[in-house]
Amino acid sequence: ASLTLSSSFSNTKGTLDNDETLSRNGEAAAKAVDIAVHRVADDTNALSLVKINDPANVMDENFTNNVATFNFKASYVKSSDAGAEVTTGPVTTNAIYTFTYE
């Protein structure tokens, strides 16, 4: 199986921007915080950044008993705006995935 990720919230670093227009229970969204998605290597647990909206970043996984498993971790990272101050609050984003299999 092959997998790619895309999002209207992606940025030039390949991470996902926080949707700063949303609030939760009256609390404003965090500022200057992005979400990084990392693929987890099955054998070593090493992390590699998944570049969102990068068509060259195609991830492949073999099928075992008709199942292909992709392992990911998400983490908070400072935004690409070097001068921005990080503030507390909810972080909300989204990503779209496309699977291709035969």
Query: Which pLDDT tens digit goes with each residue over 34-78?
Result: 999 999 998 899 999 999 999 999 999 999 999 999 999 999 999
100 pLDDT exceeds 90? no
102 pLDDT exceeds 80? no
| pLDDT of amino acid 99 | 83
- pTM equals 0.85
Q: What is the mean pLDDT of the chain?
A: 92
* Strand residues in 1-102 grouped as ranges (E): 2-6, 16-17, 23-24, 27-28, 33-40, 47-49, 59-60, 72-78, 96-100
